[in-house]
Amino acid sequence: MTYIYRVGVVGAGAMGAGIAQVVTYAGIPCILKDTSKELVDKGLATIRGIYAERVKKGKMTPEQVEQKMMLVGGSTDYGDFADVDLVIEAVFEDIDVKKKVFADLGRACPASAILTSNTSALSITAMGEASGRPDRVAGLHFFYPAPVMKLVEIIPTASSSTDTVDTLVNFCESIRKLAVRVKECAGFLVNRILMPYIGEAIWAAEGGFGSVKEIDAAMVKFGMPMGPFLLADTLGIDVCFKVALILEQAYGERAKVPVTLKALHEQKRFGRKSGAGFYSYSDQPEFTIAAASRGDFGVEQILYAMVNEAAFCLEDGVASPSDIDLAMLAGTGFPPMTGGLLRYADAVGIDVIVQRLRSFESTLGPRFKACGLLERKVKAGELGQKSKRGFLDHT
């Protein structure tokens, strides 16, 4: 196993700065790089701001903050990565840009260094090939905001060495994160299941089953920490749209991009960061989804779409049932009292969910076609808690 004594982070935006703060809080020296001194300084200010909030809450002293800030340096030169053991790339979601970053890192970093990407959906394999050291490359996907969210997805490629993966698992533990290893695919694990949460909410509003506020309120009442529309605004409509396009290309009809998401992107209503998205955070007008009312919104429309995608993830070998539940609890805030998405599905009954998916398919379209795994479980009598076996064992 490789020991991580020094970390490099490429990209000093909100995500990169948040990751750098997590690393330094764990006592590991970190170098934060971007393309200009202005961007680097802004990133360092973001890190200091995160620490300042901890001081306000009485969790740190100003002296402790200064000690942590001494662990982070800024740079615009890959030459400063000559002695790093791990790099976490966190630039914007463009595969060509990322491939160039990995080519540069492959030349600048020690041969033993592990190179990782924080991408939420793009090809880790392509980045590994660009680096010239594919055995030392993997995905290391943090969730926004990195200082708060506990989950990290580790995404090995077919070329990633055992040492690379073991080192990343150990590193995540050292920075107090929960690591879930997932198979490389478009969207990995959490985003594959999270996009139906956002996408189906938009489809429901477009179909006249509820307003943005009503659907958000219903999902919060169910137990989610944030409604799907507010979540999309928080993550960034531009980010959600890019991920949605990748998923649609990979998974077709069931991941079809809603028209409203495209419209918001075209209007540059990117969410909180731009002052307006589904909601307005400035003097910009509120956004309304015009649709004739077709009835009351039911949370099952969203939740069963998520269960269906989770079943596809299982069928594709992306992760185990227990890891899917852990990822949903730690990565999305799925209500803890449920035990996770799949345990929730087992409590409802897989036969009930399949029946409702068929009903949704007949009225709302082919995106609700039930995963073959769900159909097979029903035929095998693996219905969930009532049959003692479903996604999980209940004996």
Give the amino acid at 48: R
- Per residue in 217-238, pLDDT (tens digit) is 999 999 999 999 999 999 999 9
pLDDT at 292: 76
**Fold agreement between 7-181 and 189-395:** no
- Per residue in 311-367, pLDDT (tens digit) is 999 999 999 999 999 999 999 999 999 999 999 999 999 999 999 999 999 999 999
Asked if 141 is an active-site residue, the reply is yes
Whether this prediction's pTM lies above 0.75 is answered by: yes
- Per residue in 241-269, pLDDT (tens digit) is 999 999 999 999 999 999 999 999 999 99
- Parse the chain into domains and list their residue ranges: 7-181, 189-395
245 exposed, middle or buried (CB, 10 Å; 0-12, 13-18, 19+)? middle
Q: Are 169 and 139 in contact (CB under 8 A)?
A: no
**What beta strand segments (E) does 258-382 contain?**
none
**What beta strand segments (E) does the chain contain?**
7-10, 30-33, 72-75, 86-89, 114-117, 137-142, 151-156, 178-181
| CATH homologous superfamily for the domain 7-181 | NAD(P)-binding Rossmann-like Domain (3.40.50.720)
Q: One of 68, 141, 343, 356 is an active-site residue; which one?
A: 141
Query: In this model, does residue 91 exceed pLDDT 80?
Result: yes
> What CATH class has 189-395?
mainly alpha
